[in-house]
Structure 1
């Protein structure tokens, strides 16, 4: 039977188009989460008094680490999310409307560690979730540092939308460049017994922090400083989310075009 060149070309183009659409969706959603987290954390750090390059780097590193945990260690992230929600609800039932951020985050993190340890005991796991999360931390730190340097050279104010798009794009590129060998190194050296508990604890603390923000929006008895934090955070999250979507989508398409196959990464994590 002769080889159908035209049919093969159409199938190849269809597969390529499907891969680009998949990259667009996955990176867009990841960018939305990354951008929203970055915008909220960055504004909180600014209101709390951090200045210079530190808020940008810390917020980018934390957002990158959290987003990586959600997308590269989904089962562990779901365990941490459930633990964070349950611990936060329990805290609200007992304490009521007087929500302390440090207390609720610490309680949720502890619940996440316990839940992650139980998950690790039930399901034979490896150190891959922690290795992926630390790779996200390193990528985010580098992205924040590079963007801080660029802003220092420009010496011009930049909107939250542009900041979010920039950090998402840079962190995504760094993550793709470093992931293979950093994760391989982490899997070989990091202890698997603490992998799931630490990642689940991180996610639980982030979930509790989100609940703290949402809970305080309905509370009228707040000091002025807390009201200021909540207002600034809520104002910055929408442009941060949209900027993250843009940065993630563009990065995903460019990486797919240049040979970083998302479908191959998904197969490796299965």
Structure 2
């Protein structure tokens, strides 16, 4: 019978990996649909959305203080934009404003606290593993020739990204810390997360605007329809992957 500590570790793995997978799945499904609406083909949309979702999820989990600062900067900048501009929400403007606020907030944090290049290194590892996982999955889908729903896509990508990240994290992080400048790590990661927050607020804000054209309204509805199954698929894939890695000896408690 498993000990109490072992059961606690398993529950912790399911929660942490489940939340990470849910975040990845929601981001991936939304970005994937947006890229498809913009006219990208299925393969390119899959690769770009997976890379962006993997990079963002890793950024959230690599340094919680930087993630909180970037997210707060994105929220405040987006709210300020909405107060000044009103309902005329332009994606590039609100994203640029939020990213700039995130960079400034991250720069202030890096100035106050001794900066480390680890957050940026792990974020870039997330980008690399997301690209690799998406390319592998695209090849599998091309070989099978069968359409796959967003639930299965999110679950499969989370499993691949999680496994690749755990296998490559330690030596790639050491390499990144040795080569990446710590002074730009927090600003870049905070700017990225602020940008993601602004994009989310843009989607939510546009759902309440009735003056949009039919094509834009339909695109936003498609994005919102894809997010729930993507979130659930990512949560399932993350939980199962984390549990499998825990069984194989990749201890989450050794990393937190």
Alignment check: 8 A CA contact 2:101 2:194 kept: yes
User: Are 1:87 and 2:66 counterparts?
Assistant: no
TM-score (norm 2): 0.98
User: Are 1:163 and 2:153 counterparts?
Assistant: yes
User: Are 1:215 and 2:205 counterparts?
Assistant: yes
SS at match of 1:53: helix
User: Are 1:30 and 2:20 counterparts?
Assistant: yes
Of residues 81, 87, 95, the one that matches 1:97 is 87
Measured in 2, the distance between the counterparts of 1:44 and 1:169 equals 23
Alignment check: 8 A CA contact 2:121 2:176 kept: yes
Of residues 98, 103, 111, the one that matches 2:101 is 111
TM-score (norm 1): 0.93
CA RMSD in angstroms comes to: 0.9
Q: Name the counterpart of 2:54.
A: 64
Aligned residues between the structures: 256
Gap regions ≥5 residues in structure 1: 1-9
Equivalent residue runs for 1:41-190 within 5 Å: 41-190=31-180
Gap regions ≥5 residues in structure 2: none
Give 1:43 shift: 0.2
Of residues 228, 234, 240, the one that matches 1:244 is 234
Further displaced range: 13-22 or 250-259: 13-22
CA shift digits 1:178-204 (9 cap, x unpaired): 100111111110000100000000000
CA shift digits 1:111-136 (9 cap, x unpaired): 10000000000111210010011111
Of residues 6, 27, 33, the one that matches 1:16 is 6
Q: Name the counterpart of 1:199.
A: 189
